[in-house]
Amino acid sequence: MPGSGFSAAADQRFNVNLSILFTELPLLERPAAAAAAGFTAVELWWPWVDSPTPERSELDALKKAIEDAGVQLTGLNFYAGQLPGPDRGALSIPGEESERFRANIDVAADFAHSLGTKALNALYGNRVDGVDPAEQDALALENLVLAARAADRIGAILLIEALNNPESPLYPLVSAPAAVGIVDKVNDASGLGNARFLMDLYHLSMNGEDLPSVIERYTAKTGHVQIADNPGRGAPGTGSLPLEDLLHQLAKAGYDGWVGLEYKPGDRPSAEAFEWLPRAAR
């Protein structure tokens, strides 16, 4: 473990993804647990995997839990189907899944707005047997423009990320250039310019990409960064990625946004998975 010597902490602001950390706790207890661990900000995948439009009481309960904990919700995913698991998304899948995504757009945007959240993430969606990829891509662009407009309405950015081919083999955006290409298409189609790249260093490393080159080429188009070590998707120091150096490089390239901790805690409580990060930097 890098421990208290992880000096990159001085360069970045870190938040905790409550959909992969603190999952040993009920959803409504996680914001307070993150706060108790010293964090002031959190992010979430869409918490209701079976419902793009949950009951108002459920939305209100989560909002209250976040506010009562005194943490900021800095990022939220739109509905993306069954997560965790082989990330599949919904917005490019014709039929019911695409309709569910559209039904979620304003619900997610309004919930984000109620908490001052400024970043909304839209997973592209897996390829589907028997459907022309060109048809899926056209549907994806149409839905991403709708999402960009909803994000713009609340003063937020729209994030588009690359996943990794070994874990999500049906997902078409498995490189930084592929994801940034969609960012550019959405910005061109919407005219809003609020689509940004979500640079997940774990996913990109799993794809075998040159991470220093990705940072050099795409930091200017990056709206959010997420980290986990590789192999294993554990905390920094549990694998071989030079995350400290990469975060320093990001800072030098001008990235001053949040860095989301999107790693697995391993066989221990999540509260014990942050030894690498000085408490003062959380």
- 14-55 per-position pLDDT tens digit: 999 999 999 999 999 999 999 999 999 999 999 999 999 999
* CA pair distance 21, 151, nearest whole angstrom: 26
> Can you give the length of the chain in residues?
282
d(CA 220, CA 214): 11
For residue 203, give its domain range.
18-267
Of the candidates 10, 19, 54, 1, the residue with the CA atom closest to the CA atom of residue 282: 10
Specify the pLDDT at position 104: 98
Is 8 among the domain residues? no
pLDDT over threshold 50, residue 268: yes
Residue 66 maps to a domain: yes
Q: Where are the alpha helices (DSSP H) in 88-175?
A: 96-114, 133-153
Cα–Cα distance for residue pair 40/32, rounded to 1 Å: 10
Average pLDDT taken over every residue of the chain: 94
Residue 123 lies in a domain: yes
CATH number of 74's domain:
3.20.20.150
pTM passes above 0.85: yes
Contact 217, 204 (CB under 8 A): no
**Paired residues of 199 in beta bridges:** 225
Backbone φ and ψ for 206, nearest 5 degrees, come out as -65, -25
Q: Does 281 fall in a domain?
A: no
Q: Confidence class of residue 5 from pLDDT cuts 50, 70 and 90?
A: very low
Active site residues: 161, 262
Give CA separation, 187 vs 115, 151, 153, 184, in Å: 25, 12, 15, 5
Task: Note the pLDDT of residue 86.
Answer: 65
- For 210-246, how does the pLDDT look when each residue is reduced to its tens digit (9 = 90+)? 999 999 999 999 999 999 999 999 999 999 999 999 9
- DSSP type of residue 221: G
Using the predicted structure, report yes or no on whether residue 279 has a pLDDT greater than 50: yes
275 within a domain of the structure (yes/no) = no
Q: Is residue 11 part of a domain?
A: no
Percent of the chain with pLDDT over 70: 95
Angle in degrees, CA 23, 29, 34, rounded to 5:
75
Q: Do 41 and 258 touch, CB atoms closer than 8 A?
A: yes
As a whole number of angstroms, the distance between CA 97 and CA 245 comes to: 40
Does position 3 have pLDDT exceeding 80, yes or no?
Answer: no
Q: How far is 278 from 7, CA to CA, in rounded Å?
A: 9
Sign of the alpha-carbon torsion through 32, 34, 38, 43: negative
**What is the Cα–Cα distance from 75 to 78, expressed in whole angstroms?**
10
- Give residue-wise pLDDT tens across range 93-106: 999 999 999 999 99
Among residues of the chain, what percentage have pLDDT more than 90? Answer: 90
Considering its fold, how many domains does the chain have in total?
A: 1
Phi, psi of 115, deg, nearest 5: -115, 5
For residue 261, give the 3-state DSSP assignment. strand
The answer to whether residue 162 is domain-embedded is yes
Q: Report the pLDDT value the prediction gives residue 9, as an integer from 0 to 100.
A: 57
Is residue 93 a part of any domain in this protein? yes
Q: Looking at this protein, which amino acid is placed at residue 172?
A: P
Q: What is the pLDDT of residues 77-86, one digit of tens each?
A: 999 987 666 6
